[in-house]
Amino acid sequence: MKKYDSINVIPFIDVMLVLLAMVLTTASFIDDSQLDIRLPEARAGAPLARGERIEIAMDEHEQFYVDGQQTRWAALENFLDGVEKETSIVLIIDEAAPFKPFVNVIDELQSRRLDKLSLQTRTVD
């Protein structure tokens, strides 16, 4: 019988790297709880389309967020200038938010012909 002086750990490392790659590609790291937004209720609603989309959020204090990153109104307008017309946009508006800034966001989207728009709500049972 042949005596081994060391253990070959390369196959073990290869298996662990494959498992790590599988976990990282299938796990969802999106944390929806980072924004303190209470969604309005709706009885009828369709599930949001998956794929490439931009999320524009506004909390009750009129703070704007683009894909989770806080932004100012002027920066939001500049950002919208570079958005393709085919891009889906999801509006996440707090139910206690003032109506006027919401109308301003809709107006900015319409002026740029960004009409693939969805509103995120929570469903009522």
Give, for all 125 residues of the chain, the pLDDT tens digit.
777 788 888 999 999 999 999 888 887 665 545 667 777 777 766 666 566 789 999 998 889 999 889 999 999 999 999 998 888 899 989 888 898 998 999 999 999 999 888 888 777 76
pLDDT value at residue 47: 61
72 lies in a domain?
yes
Show the domain range for 96: 36-123
pLDDT value at residue 123: 75
7: Cα separation from own chain's centroid = 46
8 lies in a domain?
no
Judge contact between 45 and 123, C-beta under 8 A.
Answer: yes
Token pair listed for 122: 């929570």
User: Phi/psi at 90 (nearest 5 deg)?
Assistant: -110, 125
24 lies in a domain?
no
69 lies in a domain?
yes
5 lies in a domain?
no
CB < 8 Å & 24+ apart, contacts of 60-69:
60/94, 60/96, 60/97, 62/97, 62/98, 62/101, 64/105, 65/35, 65/92, 68/34, 68/35
Residue 93: CB atoms within 10 Å: 23
2 lies in a domain?
no
pLDDT value at residue 125: 64
Q: At 6, which amino acid appears?
A: S
82 lies in a domain?
yes
Work out how many domains the chain is built from and give that number.
1
19 lies in a domain?
no
- Where residue 48 sits, what CATH number does that domain have? 3.30.420.270
